[in-house]
Amino acid sequence: MRIALGQLESGTDIQANLAVMDRFAAEASRGGAGLVAFPEYATYEKKKVDATFPEVAEPLDGPVCQELAATARRHRIALVAGVVETSEDPGKAYNTLVAYGPDGGRLAFYRKIHLFDAQGFGESTFIKPGASTSPVVFEHGGVRFGLMTCYDLRFPELARSLADAGGHVLLVCSSWVPGTHKTEQWLALNAARAIENSVYVAGVCQAPPVSVGRSVLVDPMGVVELDLGLDAGVRTVDVSLETVARVRESFPMFRQRRLQ
């Protein structure tokens, strides 16, 4: 199956962000991709999360998500993107990934559970963590995709739970905060999650300056099959269930694992 990574430089103009995603989805579809993944906070982003995030938040059946569903339907491609979702708390929003099929129907959604309260950031001041820690996996084109968001990448148990739930490709939709050694950590952690779970990891990130860019597709052996560098853009790459099966047979960790 061919998938696409759409590296964005999202800002506060929601309609402009949606227009870029529509253009990238069209390009991905023309390139033969069956799914396009966009970063965390794809529809609304700033250098730091602030009070405007809950102000612009919408429910998953609101206009922003309706437009994302329309983009998927218009270009006949599955689409995953980060949105700012209304929560039960008027002062906070959910940081949510939503997935749509080529018919525009919603396949899954995931509310980020590990909020970025580190490096002087306080995401939890304005964002509410998802209540459920159950792995979110959906199937499209015979491939099972697991959903993770940014800081989740530092918590290996979530990636393992997605692999245990049948995931072949982990979509790590991110806006990885820049800093000392942060790009090196981003690349290393994407590779580590791929190797230790015998899965593909598609780490799709916001571009600089708000984030580090370097959206990557890492195969189950830790080989980087695609790297988008620092500029916004969309690229396609193939994933193979046969490769996943072959690596899991060579390194049968799921059979050999001892939990007690």
Which residues are known to be catalytic? Answer: 40, 112, 150
18: its two tokens? 């949606």
Is residue 205 within 8 Å of residue 175, measured between CB atoms? yes
Nearest Cα to 98, choosing from 66, 121, 55?
Answer: 66
3-class secondary structure, 206: coil
Query: Looking at the DSSP assignment, which residues form a beta bridge with residue 94?
Result: 85
Spell out the residues 6+ positions from residue 186 whose beta carbon is closer than 8 angstroms to its own. 153, 174, 176, 203, 205, 212, 214
Nearest Cα to 51, choosing from 111, 125, 143, 149?
Answer: 125
Per the rule left: phi > 0, alpha: psi between -120 and 50, beta: everything else, 181 is left
The single-letter code of the amino acid at 174 is: S
Output the CA–CA distances (angstroms, integers) from residue 80 to 97, 98, 213, 235, in the order listed: 7, 6, 17, 15
190: its two tokens? 């994407």
Torsion angle in degrees (nearest 10) through CA of 55, 59, 60, 66: -80
